[in-house]
Amino acid sequence: MDISSAYKLVKQSIVAFTAKYVPLFEEGAAPPPFPPILGTGFAIREDGLIVTNAHVVKAFGHVPRPDDVPPEEWAVRALLLKLTPQGMLEIPLEIQGVAMLKSFHGGQVYYGPKEGPDLAFVHVRVRGLPTVTIDSSSIVEEGQEVATAGFPMGTDALTAPGWLHQFTPTLQRGIISAVQPFPCATPHAYSVNIMTQGGASGSPVFSCESGAVLGVLYAGLQDLGLTLKARDPYWTPTNISYVVPSHYIQNALAGIENKAEMRPNPGTKTLDQMIAEADLVSVFERERNWTIRRVDPKAEVDRVKFLDRASPVPRKTVNGDD
């Protein structure tokens, strides 16, 4: 299998976690062309179970939201991009629950972070999701060709020319550069020679030969530099990035089975049902479905308006034959 074929197996399961509500501080300001992206995830179970990083899920709680939004409602959605004969569809998936590691025991010989791997699970309200294959038994080797795909730089990559010009994840390719702490059956991490930026956290890292997922991208090594004149410090990304191995995904699954919010609800619609019942809208023709909601002022903040992308239906983003 070549990388193109492997990517086709993985790409259909990738989601972007996007904000539902966007503060609009200036009267008459233009709404964003695409919802802000917080991170990436990928489906591992057809009933809506998605893998991402713990630091991505923790960021969900910092997303701004109007005061009248119920506390049990998440201010974030998982956005699935699906290519159909009618065009590319944006399919917003509502979050039902999240799960992170409550405790972690690394054993006697463990060199990873004390809090455990940067891993989390998100459950969305849908059935029939396309999923990846998790390879938790193969030993990763230095020099092995791997790839990753997600949303590095978030919406900045999708709107790089100044307008929305990309409706897909970004694919990158490299090799396993090192296994941490050394080559073994259960490493706590491994690094790849692929540069990563914010938004790519939670991306699947998969074999170029089989398409099986070998881990979750979670961090990148940065280099400290100084400006020439003012000697001000700044950080620059390198092409050394770190991956949570997939054996942690497999081992953590048993611990979330008993959480009610991580189990599918009876009557949850399938992905095909959502598409069949949707009123497809071309955003090129009618713009994006933002509405403005006013919220009460805070003590130290002026009256704020929120753009609310509240539409629960798939939206067409690439014109088809119509």
CATH number of the domain within which 18 lies: 2.40.10.120
Confidence band of 30 (pLDDT split at 50, 70, 90): confident
Query: Other CB atoms closer than 10 Å to residue 32's CB: what's the count?
Result: 17
Q: Residue 269: CB partners within 8 Å, gap ≥ 6?
A: 125, 126, 127, 277
Tally of structural domains, the chain: 1
Residue 183 domain boundaries: 3-316
Most confident of 23-32, 243-252, 273-282: 243-252
Asked if pLDDT for residue 175 goes beyond 90, the answer is yes
Q: Which carries the bigger pLDDT value, residue 190 or residue 23?
A: 190
Task: Give a yes or no: residue 322 inside a domain.
Answer: no
| Residue 296 reports pLDDT greater than 70 | no
Residue with structure tokens 């699906």?
A: 82
Residue 291: pLDDT over 80: no
Q: Is residue 321 in a domain?
A: no
pLDDT top residue among 278 and 245: 245
pLDDT of residue 107: 72
pLDDT the model gives residue 302: 46
| Average pLDDT of span 175-184 | 94
At residue 317 the predicted structure's pLDDT band, cuts being 50, 70 and 90, is low
Is residue 127 assigned to a domain? yes
User: Which band of pLDDT confidence, cut at 50, 70 and 90, is reported for residue 245?
Assistant: very high
Q: Where are the alpha helices (DSSP H) in the chain?
A: 3-11, 54-60, 155-158, 246-256, 271-277, 283-286
pLDDT of residue 37: 95
Report residue 256 CA to chain centroid gap.
19
Residues 6+ apart with CB under 8 A from 54: 100, 101, 118, 119, 120
Look at 101-115, 120-134, 184-198, 239-253 and tell me which has the smallest mean pLDDT. 101-115
Tokens 């899920």 sit on residue: 57
Mean pLDDT over 75-85 rounds to 90
Position 132 in a domain: yes
Instruction: Indicate the pLDDT class of residue 300, thresholds 50, 70 and 90.
Output: very low
Q: What is the pLDDT of residues 139-163, one digit of tens each?
A: 999 999 999 999 999 999 999 998 8
Start-to-end C-alpha separation, the chain: 36
The answer as to whether 104 is a domain residue is: yes
In a domain, 239, yes or no: yes
- Residue 28 placed within a domain: yes
Measure Cα distances from 243 to 113, 114, 144, 200 in Å. Answer: 13, 16, 14, 12
Question: Is 151 among the domain residues?
Answer: yes
Given a cut of 70, whether residue 18 has pLDDT beyond it is: yes
CA distances 314 to 50, 105, 145, 254, 280, Å, are: 19, 42, 35, 32, 6
Q: Of 18-27, 88-97, 197-206, where does the model show the most confidence?
A: 197-206
95-130, pLDDT tens digit by residue? 999 998 887 877 777 888 888 899 999 999 999 999
The average confidence (pLDDT) of the chain is 86
What pLDDT band is residue 285 in, cutting at 50, 70 and 90?
low
Residue 311 pLDDT > 70: no
